[in-house]
Structure 1
Amino acid sequence: MPKVTFPQLPVSGLFAIAKPSGPTSMSVINDLKQLVGNSRLFVEADKLEKRGKGKIPTKGKRAREIVKIGQGGTLDPLADGVLVVGAGKGTKRLNEFLDCVKEYRTTALLGCETDTYDSEGSRVRVAPWRHVTREAVESALNKFRGEIHQAPPIFSALKMEGRPLYDYARKGIPLPRPIEKRKVTIHSLDILEWKGSAHQFRWPEKEFTSDEKNAMQKALEGVEENPIIKDELEPAVSDESPTAFVLSMKVSGGTYVRSIVHDLGHAVGSAAHVVTLTRSRQGRFALEPAIDSEDKGCVPWDVFSRASESEGDVGEDGWTQWEREVIDRLEIVEGPKPQKTS
């Protein structure tokens, strides 16, 4: 790797990490704070010298000394993929990634819908799924392409008259008005792979009780046509897996991928929820950057995980491995650009 030098340090910038499925976006950012806040790449040398080798504080008044760090669009714990990170004054540029075009890959599992619209939630309703063919799904996808109006999940933190939507659903409080739909643009939406029953995915074991179903139904009464929430079972077949398929999509900011899968399940006369979700692109950052383009790649999360356990050796260029990985993908928003020398 060519030696990278900076005429002046520290810098502010943007870079992306490949978030794994499991941790929250906030926990990922908190883990990064220790590394970023102790790196001369982003922090003034005199501050690092005063701080010494001890861990920097993440709470209290002293936390103000830490370089600012934030993310440009939360990924659910289930989701993996591109998470754009801003350091220093790079945090001021993060808003542009909220409304930018994003690309996703998601696996949908038919026959069951959940309160969260994904496999992390509880089963709300099960429905027939064996009648659903690839051709039926492909035909239904036409309804979701282009500019559409999309309703957020009722079990979301969005508020209506000061109360989170999930509060209405859990307590059986009728919604005061229909959930406001958002106008979003689905630039492309296609079946990437039809798995059929050749997979290991299963419906969540946890399911809604009768009281929980009644509460949700009551919350929807008056704002949704025929909000009857009940199972529509079909004869079970031993060891048969419900149909699954993978979708690829390119969407505008604000799009709920989980809602697309949920609504698609209804459109084909069944039910569906998300079992995998990968953000493959966010603006100019991508998991697989196009060759000969200005796209930037992502730093693998295990690079930071290893660095958190042990900062590692400093190379001849004066940087640790995680710093070199970031420098290679860093977009500087203030300060000098890195100069590579042989």
Structure 2
Amino acid sequence: MSSGPVLEGVLAIHKPAAISSAQVIRDVQKHFNPSKLFEPWLAREQEKRDAEGHNQKRKRKWRGRRETSVKMGHGGTLDPMATGVLILGLGSGTKQLGHFTTECTKTYETVVLFGAATDTYDTEGKIVGRKPYDHITMPMVEEALAKFMGKGMQKPPIFSALRVQGKRLYEYAREGKEVPVEIQERPVEVHELEMTEWMEGGSHKYHWPQREAEQEEKKFAEKALHLDPSETEAPKVDEEATAGAKRKRDEGEDDAQAPEEESSSKRPKAEENIPTEEHDEKSKIDDAKVDEDSSVSKQDDAAADPEEEQPPCPAPACRIRMKVTSGFYVRSLCQDLGAAVGSLGMMTELVRTQQGAFELGSNVLSYEDLRQGEDVWGPKVKSLLEDWNGKQKQKADDEAA
């Protein structure tokens, strides 16, 4: 066995946008597997495999598990569009991931854009309905937010990764079929909820998606989201205001408020969250019980819109911060908030700033550190794992006392 301590436990990494949580695990394993830091762990694992009986080796070979890899899983998935704290369990640490998916609180920052709804409740989907938004004001939204505080019930999004009778909900939706059982609301609790920024229409960078859902999908959404069929029509755009805004941008009069344009052709195709080969059984709990940020498969959306300049979105938007229990769907809150102010809403940004004892800017590994090499990320990973294990030992000692 290689010399040095066998490192395993739990740490957190700052997930970037545009990749799935499962891809983060693959990327981290790619750096950890050949490293000096995890040589002792891999050597120990290989010794265990060498000592296996014939049937165990045969079973492993049949499953395609031939190469030894650092065992890893995550404690609550994040959408490809989302960023922030992603909990990773390494080795025996995968057995502790259940705490992060079912027990601890999480803090999020999100941006809600009003006036339209999509099949995925966010800007990565296709528009299934629209409603007026001119009446929405900052005080109105703040008053509506107060109603979501405390304990309550929340219904998961139709296009979530939850399973109903062995099939994911979005698969029923994609096929235009009725879900065979009523989607049950689940108990959730909101400990903190506040608006941190209000953005008037035309003053922000956010946009509704340019893609419209097919009629079959809209009909499904009308029932699921309780939309009036007339609300799926394209909105009337104030052409004079739009032309004026474009003229100002061309003349360089409002650079400070010019939107950061992002072509849908640059949007990544979301991936379904699939556990890695070495994913521990307990960490697979996300497959059966995902929380708010479940990765949504949108394979039928691979065709991208042509890149074109978009005028500022005329609908207002707001940034909100919340601290919630596990099992809370942020995208559902955005959808419900839109309905609460007599319109529709969708999630345009999501950052998980805290989960359990891990918080951005404090004890979370930067994803960019991986690219700097083991000399950079190695000491940080070692310190994070030692800190986690030290606190776990202290906790066990306190409980035993």
TM-score, normalised with respect to structure 1: 0.80
Q: In 2, distance between residues paired with 1:301 and 1:142?
A: 35
Give the aligned partner of residue 32 of structure 2: 36
- 8 Å CA contact retained: 2:129, 2:227: no
**CA offsets per residue over residues 147-199 of structure 1, 9 Å max, x none?**
11100111122222333222332333233332101101011111011122321
After TM superposition, the structure 1 = structure 2 runs for residues 173-212 of structure 1, keeping only pairs within 5 Å, are: 173-197=177-201, 198-212=203-217
Give the aligned partner of residue 138 of structure 1: 142
1:333 corresponds to 2:399: no
Give the aligned partner of residue 322 of structure 1: 377
Q: In 1, distance between residues paired with 2:168 and 2:75?
A: 23
- 8 Å CA contact retained: 1:75, 1:83: yes
- 8 Å CA contact retained: 2:41, 2:70: no
- 8 Å CA contact retained: 1:90, 1:333: no
Report which of the two has the higher share of helix.
2
Q: In 1, distance between residues paired with 2:198 and 2:366?
A: 28
Moved more, 169-178 or 151-160: 169-178
Residue 180 of structure 2 aligns with an amino acid whose one-letter code is P
- 8 Å CA contact retained: 1:124, 1:207: yes
Q: 1:334 Cα deviation (Å)?
A: 8.4
Q: In 2, distance between residues paired with 1:93 and 1:45?
A: 18
- 8 Å CA contact retained: 1:217, 1:228: yes
Report which of the two has the higher share of strand.
1
Q: In 2, distance between residues paired with 1:139 and 1:335?
A: 41
TM-score, normalised with respect to structure 2: 0.69
**CA offsets per residue over residues 261-306 of structure 1, 9 Å max, x none?**
11100110111111110000000000033xxxxxxx1111111133
SS in 2 for 1:144: coil
Q: In 2, distance between residues paired with 1:83 and 1:46?
A: 23
After TM superposition, the structure 1 = structure 2 runs for residues 89-100 of structure 1, keeping only pairs within 5 Å, are: 89-99=92-102, 100=104
- 8 Å CA contact retained: 1:124, 1:229: no
- 8 Å CA contact retained: 1:172, 1:216: no
- 8 Å CA contact retained: 1:187, 1:251: yes
Residue 316 of structure 2 aligns with an amino acid whose one-letter code is T
SS in 2 for 1:246: strand
Return closer, same or farther for 1:159/1:187 CA change in 2, 3 Å cut-off.
Answer: same
Give the aligned partner of residue 262 of structure 1: 335
- 8 Å CA contact retained: 2:122, 2:347: yes
Q: 1:333 Cα deviation (Å)?
A: 3.2
1:80 corresponds to 2:56: no
Identity of paired residues, percent? 39
Q: 1:210 Cα deviation (Å)?
A: 2.0
Q: In 1, distance between residues paired with 2:185 and 2:378?
A: 43
Return closer, same or farther for 1:214/1:253 CA change in 2, 3 Å cut-off.
Answer: same
Moved more, 8-17 or 89-98: 8-17
**CA offsets per residue over residues 115-146 of structure 1, 9 Å max, x none?**
11111111111211121001000111122111
Gaps of 5+ in 1: 1-6, 51-58, 290-296, 312-319, 338-342
Select the residue among 345, 354, 362 that pairs with 1:281. Answer: 354
Gaps of 5+ in 2: 47-62, 243-310, 394-401
1:306 corresponds to 2:372: yes
Q: 1:335 Cα deviation (Å)?
A: 12
Q: 1:250 Cα deviation (Å)?
A: 0.1
Return closer, same or farther for 1:336/1:285 CA change in 2, 3 Å cut-off.
Answer: closer
